[in-house]
């Protein structure tokens, strides 16, 4: 009865079955090995720590399809579709293994009742798969949401078309084969749909001989098609089914906001200028991309019209790897086209604000930002190429220890303490709690107001803190984000020494970039301090009863999550709790909020690097989000965001409808009058 | 030192006439010489020199040294140094003055080294100290933040280059009498090591923002790229560069490299004219080093007026063209 | 091509005007606390010019700086940009020298360094801004000098220099060895690249005293100075804005024009 047990042209079906299998599997393995060798072109990287934790995460996320389901939103149900496709096909895969084991002459046999049950599951699964594929095709070819906007090459178009067609054909073959089998051999019980189809075939009066012959033919077609799919899978450029679980397994476990230092052994070629400079994990990312385009649709640079598309960077690099791979494996050191320049445009690299929306949106944990930073490092450290505005900023970091070129004509960084009763640490002084102001908060007039507010709040709460005054230098974040790594390292080491010399235990900062750097990156240089963002600190003060916010604030507010505080460090709730604890504060959320918050445009060195001309300004897009809520005030907890909003408000001439505030200013205004009397 | 007497003006000839700065210096030399009770002389070089000697006398020179050599028609550092040093060593002036011009800036330090005196560069005021009878030269230092007064106690001659237009031009008296002294010796070709190969006149467009002496900057109030033409006209008349505040650059009205401000370029020209700029501190940070800031703005409360030295409250579209026209008129006068 | 670059470390010119304070007795500027000194802006461009020549013609760049021990930072900066070596010239006898004295010390140091094809200086120091030392130094060394360079090209043993003049450029040719002073038009100095930054950081900069360079104490004696500063004052800055009016905008403009004309 099994098609495999028959004889064809003198050959036993088993031989044909297993020979075909061996060939197909062999080709599959050969190609997979080639792909693996391509990964080995990359530099080593240690991602095998905490194997147990990694395995559990990967298995649970992939089998539950949380990787896809987490992307589901009201306007984007594709994740659900993928889950259905995945589970559906998962059942089929198991089914194929079982059934081929049975039919393939391995001597397994299934009780008919079990087989019918299992086939019924497959029948229903197939419906879901077909539905999901049809919807996916409609989305990709007709609806075309932003994230699927792409100039696909003919090859890519064929791959997707083949994928959709193959899946539908396999499902059809499943029904067909099933119907034919059950009608030809009159087996009972029969699966739900297969049984119905079998009945209609039987009642059509087709002879059992015809049915069984057709069944045999369908069976072999199904088998060959499956083997074909197996062979094609690693040869197509659509590799995520094979590699993305591994990518999830090898995901980064360190703090999200931390970049790695440049390797100490490197002396000439910094960052990445060719494929072999990437680590194997970064190359694995390239295989794992699912072409979903969510990173593209979440990227503020892309949405504001810049030439940067995170997805394009990944896919272009993938094509580059597959094209150049054979030559590189043969030992040629150079690829035939330049990575920076031909494959990835310099413009695109500089347009990134490092907001991290791409990483968050990615279902398979591709690391886009780290890659862009590595390419920037090569441009800056090895090729000495960067936008002029970035250069001016970096030169100022070198000679004056802060990125704000020109501002020293207005004030020096210790000046903000003039007239305030603030303890400024002198040589030899010690303090437990340091209020780290940051360059922007000390030097830029608008932000100095927020710093002074913060100081008053701390004093009102009776906090014993000190500041470094003019001894504070930049934390180094702007240098690192622009790729000027050694400057960052020097500043980090200098600051860590300063902290240690004053015996600092705890650092409170107003700037999320400083917060991220001091907390997540300074440990790389021996800096081990307790670092707290002021929203967390103030939250604690309120919880401890040391600060009472009793003055009502009769205004509609919306809170903007700074990327480096929210997405990178998970601090969403604390600022909101503070705002909500103020009487009469009417807090509304923007549509894109919390981890979906839209960048203000100030990160990644963009307080200084000019945005590509002729494009929309990112900060204006975010202000539109704020205006849509009807709020009178947009509140933030980051000096860059505050600057970007003030500049945008000025530009759009909406000073009368929207005010930008730092959370510290709101808190100061909300403090009970009697408490603020004792303050500076 | 004791045998050094009198004032020597190292003159320049442009377009066949005494250069304006030379006329100013001859006047200044006359004044200083009178205070010292000594003579004032001028040195003119080039084939036109003899013809202008009388002019120099008319402006106040007692003696005019004439080095009539066509090799001196165009400035050559080595040639001029040789001739002037020679005259200086013959005439032994107590004071030697040059204009702080292309020539003066280059020639004075070399001369100083060659003849061994002391020099003060780019002076804005010169006076004879009544007690010591020394020449006290005042010059701006530290980017104009301070003024330094310098003297040469013993080194002679006491040299100075004077910034053009800081002293009034001399009064002309055609009846004045004086001596014309031909300079002996021609330029020694062997002494000329540096050769001028080419001279290229350039449009003011090329003045770099950071180095310009005058900057005319536009802000958001300018309203459009085409309106910047008015600023370019004004800058052109003043020999300066055009700058802009960040909003104007963001709008794409001018290239980003013209941005003056805390995240743009820091400039410290002699004159900064802020047109339709509100004066956000971000912008001010880039121009506060300017010697003089002039503001033109519709809004009398605009912050720019708190840092400007002079200002006009009004619509720049009405003020700028008239300003440019009047300045053109004054400059050609 | 062997180049020597003279660099000066100066007080940071970028400070709020209100913080600019002088000591009238000492005739010095009082440095505001917490503001580190910087490399003089034109000297940095001189280093850039030297690096560009080295990029093209190979050779060695040596940087020298007369100053305090902090001047080692500017030498390191020069090395980070592309200089091969550098020295600080520090001695009590070198303090408060005038231009002649400064040129003398630099000349002696250059003599100790030995062979060179080119000496580069900034066109003027960012603090006192006189623009003399380069030319005086050239005269002392007996080499030709070209000032205000916006571009320097070398071919055979001749230097082709594009010089800034008020209405354009001049192109001059000078035989090497010679001295060139560099102006800002040469362009932005390069940002030190990674490897050189690390190298410069580790460098221990040698200090030369008067005895090391064979400086004659008579030449350094303040009594023999060619010039001295007798007064240092801060001109009072008018912060009141004089609003210029007129019965019509045109008249106001004319009045403003008259005011501006005197300023420049």
SS3 readout for A93-122: HHHHHHHHHHHCCCCCCCCHHHHHHHHHHH
3-state SS, residue C170: strand
What pLDDT score does A408 carry?
A: 78
H helices of A629-672, in order, are: 639-652, 663-670
3-state SS, residue C98: coil
Domain boundaries, chain A: 3-40+50-238, 275-306+317-382, 389-542, 548-676
What pLDDT score does A678 carry?
A: 45
Across residues A191-195, what is the average pLDDT? Answer: 86
Residue C131: is its pLDDT beyond 80? yes
Of A58-72, A108-122, A159-173, C240-254, the range with the lowest mean pLDDT is: A108-122
CB-based contact, C202 to chain A, within 8 Å: no
Task: Between A310 and A190, name the one with better pLDDT.
Answer: A310
CATH 3.40.50.2300 correct for B204-332: no
Task: Between A107 and A203, name the one with better pLDDT.
Answer: A203
pLDDT confidence tier of residue A6, bands split at 50, 70 and 90: confident
The fold of the A389-542 domain, in CATH, is Rossmann fold (3.40.50)
What pLDDT score does A190 carry?
A: 83
Across residues C152-163, what is the average pLDDT? Answer: 94
Query: Percentage of residues in chain A with pLDDT exceeding 70?
Result: 98
Distance CA A219, CA A173 (A): 8
Residue A532: is its pLDDT beyond 80? yes
| C33 contacts A399? CB cut-off 8 A | no
Domain limits, CATH 3.40.50.1220, in chain B:
204-332
Strand ranges, E, within B81-157: 95-99, 118-123, 125-128, 135-141, 146-151
For residue C89, tell me if it sits in a domain.
yes
3-state secondary structure C24-76: CCCCEEECCCCCCCEECHHHHHHHHHHHHHHHHHCCEEEEEEECCHHHHHHHH
Q: Could you tell me the sign of the dihedral formed by the alpha carbons of A263, A264, A266, A267, in that order?
A: positive
3-state SS, residue A456: helix
Within 13 A of A517's CA, how many CA atoms are on the CB side? Answer: 27
| C34 contacts A399? CB cut-off 8 A | no
Residue A680: is its pLDDT beyond 60? no
Phi then psi for residue A378, to 5 deg, are -65, -45
Distance CA A398, CA C39 (A): 11
Distance CA A3, CA A460 (A): 85
Which residue in B246, B252, B285 is closest to A407 by CB distance? B285
Chain C residues with CB-CB distance to B143 below 8 A: 13, 126, 129
Tell me how far the alpha carbon of residue A243 is from its chain's centroid. 17
Counted domains in chain C: 1
A456-472 pLDDT, tens digit each: 999 999 999 999 999 99
Separation in Å, CA A129 to CA A60, A136, A166, A171, A621: 21, 10, 12, 8, 39
| A408 contacts C197? CB cut-off 8 A | no
Distance CA B231, CA B209 (A): 14
Of A3-7, A414-418, A662-666, the range with the lowest mean pLDDT is: A3-7
CATH of the domain at C194: 3.40.50.620
A476-513 pLDDT, tens digit each: 999 999 999 999 999 999 999 999 999 999 999 999 99
Distance CA C190, CA C177 (A): 25
CB-based contact, A270 to chain C, within 8 Å: yes
Within 13 A of C33's CA, how many CA atoms are on the CB side? Answer: 7
Distance from CA of C172 to the nearest CA of A (A): 30
Distance CA A239, CA A225 (A): 18
For residue C83, tell me if it sits in a domain.
yes
- Largest Cα span, chain B: 67
Q: Which of C152, C145, C184, C49 is nearest to B105 (CA)?
A: C145
Across residues C108-133, what is the average pLDDT? Answer: 93
Give the DSSP per-residue string, C124-168.
S-TTT----HHHHHHHHHT--EEEEEEEEEEETTEEEEEEEETTE
| C188 contacts A388? CB cut-off 8 A | yes
Q: Could you tell me the sign of the dihedral formed by the alpha carbons of C119, C123, C129, C131, in that order?
A: positive
Residue B324: is its pLDDT beyond 90? yes
Distance CA B122, CA B142 (A): 13
Chain B residues with CB-CB distance to A392 below 8 A: 265
CB-based contact, A424 to chain C, within 8 Å: no
Strand ranges, E, within A400-455: 433-436
| A262 contacts C38? CB cut-off 8 A | no
B51-81 pLDDT, tens digit each: 999 999 999 999 999 999 888 999 999 999 9
What pLDDT score does A246 carry?
A: 95
**CATH code assigned to B7-191:** 3.40.50.620
Residue B109: is its pLDDT beyond 80? yes
Distance from CA of A81 to the nearest CA of C (A): 48
Across residues A135-161, what is the average pLDDT? Answer: 87
CB-based contact, A406 to chain B, within 8 Å: yes
Residue A518 DSSP label: I
Across residues C56-83, what is the average pLDDT? Answer: 96
| B246 contacts A407? CB cut-off 8 A | no
CB-based contact, C12 to chain A, within 8 Å: yes
Give the DSSP per-residue string, A539-596.
HHHHHTTS--B-S---EEEEE---TTTTTTT---HHHHHHHHTSTTEEEE--SS-GGG
Chain C residues with CB-CB distance to B211 below 8 A: 183-185
Residue A631: is its pLDDT beyond 60? yes
pLDDT confidence tier of residue C94, bands split at 50, 70 and 90: very high
* CB environment B48-59: b (16+ within 10 A), e (fewer): bbeebbbbbbbb
Q: A496, A522 in Cβ contact below 8 A? A: yes
The helix (H) or strand (E) run that includes residue A26 is helix A13-40
Residue A607 DSSP label: T
A567-615 pLDDT, tens digit each: 999 999 999 999 999 998 899 999 999 999 999 999 999 999 988 888 9
Mean pLDDT of chain B: 88
Residue A677: is its pLDDT beyond 50? no
Residue B263: is its pLDDT beyond 60? no
Residue C50: is its pLDDT beyond 60? yes
One fold for A389-542 and A548-676: yes
Phi then psi for residue A449, to 5 deg, are -60, -40
Distance CA C75, CA A30 (A): 58
Chain B residues with CB-CB distance to A650 below 8 A: 220, 247, 280
Of A332-346, B102-116, B231-245, C48-62, the range with the lowest mean pLDDT is: A332-346
Residue A466 DSSP label: B
Residue A679: is its pLDDT beyond 70? no
Q: With a cut of 0.85, is the ipTM above it?
A: yes
3-state SS, residue B84: helix
B176-235 pLDDT, tens digit each: 999 999 998 888 888 899 999 999 876 545 677 877 899 999 988 888 888 999 999 999
Across residues C258-263, what is the average pLDDT? Answer: 87
Mean pLDDT of chain A: 91
| A391 contacts C194? CB cut-off 8 A | no
For residue C183, tell me if it sits in a domain.
yes
Residue C13: is its pLDDT beyond 90? no
Tell me how far the alpha carbon of residue C197 is from its chain's centroid. 22
Residues with Cβ within 8 Å of residue A86, at least 6 apart in sequence: A65, A68
Phi then psi for residue B93, to 5 deg, are -70, 150
Q: A407, A514 in Cβ contact below 8 A? A: no
Distance from CA of C34 to the nearest CA of A (A): 6
Within 13 A of B57's CA, how many CA atoms are on the CB side? Answer: 19
Across residues C62-90, what is the average pLDDT? Answer: 96
| B280 contacts A406? CB cut-off 8 A | no
What pLDDT score does A105 carry?
A: 67
Distance from CA of A333 to the nearest CA of B (A): 39
**CATH code assigned to A548-676:** 3.40.50
CATH superfamily placement of domain A275-306+317-382:
Alpha-helical ferredoxin (1.10.1060.10)
Which residue in C134, C233, C264 is closest to B146 by CB distance? C233
3-state SS, residue B151: strand
For residue C253, tell me if it sits in a domain.
no
For residue C211, tell me if it sits in a domain.
yes
For residue C205, tell me if it sits in a domain.
yes
pLDDT confidence tier of residue B290, bands split at 50, 70 and 90: confident
| A409 contacts B285? CB cut-off 8 A | yes
Q: A525, A497 in Cβ contact below 8 A? A: no
Distance CA A233, CA A235 (A): 6
Of A363-377, A382-396, B279-293, C83-97, the range with the lowest mean pLDDT is: B279-293
Task: Between A190 and C226, name the one with better pLDDT.
Answer: C226
A61-75 pLDDT, tens digit each: 999 999 999 988 888
Distance CA A417, CA A435 (A): 12
Range of the domain at C175: 2-224
CB-based contact, A409 to chain C, within 8 Å: yes
Of A93-107, A476-490, B24-38, the range with the lowest mean pLDDT is: A93-107
Distance CA A35, CA A44 (A): 16
């Amino acid at each position: 009865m099994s098609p495999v047990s028959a004889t064809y042209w003198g050959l036993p079906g088993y031989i044909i079955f297993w020979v075909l299998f061996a060939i197909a599997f062999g080709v599959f393995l050969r190609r997979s090995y080639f792909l693996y060798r391509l990964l080995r072109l990359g530099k080593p990287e240690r991602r095998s720590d905490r194997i147990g934790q990694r395995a559990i995460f990967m298995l649970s996320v992939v089998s539950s399809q949380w990787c896809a389901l987490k992307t589901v939103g009201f306007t984007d149900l594709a994740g659900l579709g993928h889950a259905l496709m995945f589970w559906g096909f998962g059942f089929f895969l198991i089914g194929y293994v079982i059934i081929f084991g049975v039919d393939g002459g391995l001597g397994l046999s299934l009780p008919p009742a079990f087989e019918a049950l299992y086939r019924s599951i497959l029948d229903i699964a197939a419906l879901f798969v077909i539905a999901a594929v049809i919807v996916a095709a409609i989305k990709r070819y007709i609806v075309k949401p932003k994230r699927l906007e792409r100039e696909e090459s003919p090859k890519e178009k064929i791959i997707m078309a083949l994928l959709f067609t193959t899946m539908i054909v396999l499902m059809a073959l499943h029904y067909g084969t099933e119907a034919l089998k059950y009608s030809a051999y009159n087996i009972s019980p029969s699966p739900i749909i297969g049984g119905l189809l079998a009945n209609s075939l039987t009642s059509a009066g087709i002879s059992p001989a015809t049915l069984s012959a057709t069944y045999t033919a369908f069976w072999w077609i199904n088998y060959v098609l499956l083997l074909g799919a197996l062979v094609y899978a690693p040869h197509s450029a659509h590799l995520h089914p094979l590699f993305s679980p591994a990518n999830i397994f090898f995901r980064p476990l360190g703090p999200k906001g931390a970049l790695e230092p440049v390797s100490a052994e490197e002396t000439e070629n910094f960052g990445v200028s060719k494929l072999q400079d990437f680590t194997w994990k970064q190359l694995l990312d390239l295989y794992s991309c699912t072409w979903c385009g969510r990173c593209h649709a979440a990227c503020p640079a892309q949405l504001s019209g810049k030439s940067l598309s995170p997805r394009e960077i990944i896919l272009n690099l993938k094509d580059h790897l597959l094209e150049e791979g054979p030559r590189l494996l043969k030992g040629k050191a150079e690829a035939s086209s330049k990575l920076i320049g031909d494959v990835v445009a310099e413009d695109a690299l500089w347009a990134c604000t490092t907001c991290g929306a791409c990483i968050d949106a990615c279902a398979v944990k591709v690391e886009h930002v780290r890659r862009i930073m590595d390419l920037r490092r090569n441009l800056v450290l090895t090729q000495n190429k960067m936008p002029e505005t970035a250069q001016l900023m970096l030169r100022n970091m070198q000679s004056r220890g802060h990125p704000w070129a020109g501002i020293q004509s207005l004030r020096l960084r210790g000046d903000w303490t003039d007239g305030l009763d603030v303890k400024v640490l002198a040589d030899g002084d010690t303090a437990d709690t340091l209020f780290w102001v940051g360059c922007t908060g000390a030097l830029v007039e608008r932000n100095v107001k927020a710093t002074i507010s913060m100081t008053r709040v701390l004093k009102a709460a009776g906090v014993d803190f000190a500041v470094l005054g003019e001894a504070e230098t930049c934390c180094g974040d702007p240098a690192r984000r622009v790729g000027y790594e050694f400057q960052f390292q020097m500043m980090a080491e200098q600051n860590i020494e300063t902290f240690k010399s004053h015996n600092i235990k705890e650092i409170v900062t107003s700037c999320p970039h400083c917060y991220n750097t001091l907390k997540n990156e300074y440990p790389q240089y021996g800096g081990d301090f307790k670092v707290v963002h002021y929203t967390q600190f103030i939250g604690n003060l309120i919880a401890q009863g040391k600060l009472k916010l009793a003055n009502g604030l009769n205004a509609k507010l919306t809170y903007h999550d700074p990327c480096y505080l929210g997405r990178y460090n998970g601090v969403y709730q604390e600022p909101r709790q503070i705002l909500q604890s103020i009487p009469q504060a009417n807090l509304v959320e923007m549509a894109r909020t919390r981890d979906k918050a839209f960048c203000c445009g100030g990160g990644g060195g963009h307080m200084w690097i000019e945005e590509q001309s002729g494009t929309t300004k990112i900060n204006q897009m975010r202000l539109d989000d704020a205006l849509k809520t009807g709020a009178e005030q947009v509140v933030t907890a980051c000096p860059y965001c505050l600057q970007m909003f003030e500049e945008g408000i000025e530009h759009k001439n909406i000073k009368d409808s929207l005010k930008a505030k730092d959370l510290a200013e709101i808190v100061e205004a909300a403090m009970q009058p009697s408490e603020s009397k004792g303050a500076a | 030192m004791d045998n050094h007497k009198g004032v020597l003006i190292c003159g320049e000839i442009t377009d066949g006439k005494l250069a304006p700065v030379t006329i100013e210096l001859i006047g200044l030399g006359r004044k200083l010489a009178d205070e010292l009770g000594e003579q004032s002389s001028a040195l003119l070089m080039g084939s036109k020199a003899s013809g202008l000697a009388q002019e120099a006398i008319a402006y106040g020179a007692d003696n005019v040294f004439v080095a009539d050599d066509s090799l001196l028609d165009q400035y050559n550092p080595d040639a001029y140094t040789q001739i002037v040093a020679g005259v200086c060593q013959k005439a032994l002036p107590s004071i030697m003055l040059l204009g702080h011009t292309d020539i003066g800036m280059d020639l004075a330090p070399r001369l100083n080294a060659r003849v061994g005196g002391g020099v003060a560069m780019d002076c804005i005021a010169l006076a004879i100290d009544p007690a010591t009878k020394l020449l006290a030269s005042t010059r701006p230092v530290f980017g104009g933040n301070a003024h330094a007064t310098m003297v040469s106690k013993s080194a002679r001659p006491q040299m100075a280059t004077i910034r053009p237009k800081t002293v009034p031009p001399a009064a002309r008296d055609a009846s004045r009498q004086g001596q014309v002294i031909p300079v002996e010796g021609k330029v020694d070709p062997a002494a000329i090591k540096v050769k001028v190969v080419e001279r290229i006149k350039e449009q003011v467009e090329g003045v770099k923002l950071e180095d310009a002496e005058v900057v005319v900057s536009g802000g958001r109030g300018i309203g459009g790229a085409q309106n910047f033409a008015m600023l370019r006209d004004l800058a052109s008349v003043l020999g300066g560069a055009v700058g802009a505040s960040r909003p104007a650059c963001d709008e794409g009205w001018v290239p980003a490299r013209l941005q003056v401000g805390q995240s743009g370029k820091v400039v410290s020209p002699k004159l900064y004219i802020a047109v339709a700029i509100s004066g956000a501190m971000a912008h001010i940070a880039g121009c506060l080093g300017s010697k003089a800031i002039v503001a033109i703005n519709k809004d009398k409360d605009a912050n720019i007026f708190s840092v400007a030295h002079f200002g006009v409250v009004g619509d720049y579209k009405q003020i700028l063209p008239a300003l440019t026209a009047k300045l053109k008129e004054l400059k050609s006068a | 091509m062997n180049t020597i670059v003279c660099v000066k470390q100066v007080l940071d010119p970028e400070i709020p005007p209100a913080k600019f304070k002088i000591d009238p007795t000492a005739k010095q500027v009082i440095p505001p606390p917490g503001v580190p000194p910087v490399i003089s802006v034109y000297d940095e461009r001189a280093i850039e010019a030297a690096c560009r020549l080295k990029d093209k013609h190979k050779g060695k760049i040596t940087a020298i700086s007369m100053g305090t021990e902090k001047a080692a930072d500017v030498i390191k900066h020069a090395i980070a940009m592309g200089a091969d070596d550098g020295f600080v010239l520090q001695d009590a006898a070198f303090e408060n020298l005038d231009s002649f004295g400064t040129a003398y010390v630099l000349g002696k140091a250059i003599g100790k360094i030995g062979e060179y094809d080119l000496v580069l200086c900034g066109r003027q120091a960012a603090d006192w801004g006189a623009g003399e030392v380069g030319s005086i130094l050239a005269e002392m060394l007996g080499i030709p000098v070209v000032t205000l360079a916006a571009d320097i090209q070398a071919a055979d043993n001749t230097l082709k220099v594009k010089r800034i003049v008020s209405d354009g450029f001049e192109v001059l040719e000078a035989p090497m060895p010679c001295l060139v002073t560099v102006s800002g038009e040469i362009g932005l100095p390069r940002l030190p690249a990674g490897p050189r930054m690390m190298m410069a950081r580790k460098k221990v900069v040698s200090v030369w005293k008067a005895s090391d360079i064979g400086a004659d104490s008579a030449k350094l004696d303040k009594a023999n100075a060619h010039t001295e500063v007798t007064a240092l004052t801060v001109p009072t800055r008018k912060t009141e804005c004089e609003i210029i009016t007129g019965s019509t905008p045109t008249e106001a403009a004319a009045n403003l024009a008259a005011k501006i004309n005197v300023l420049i």
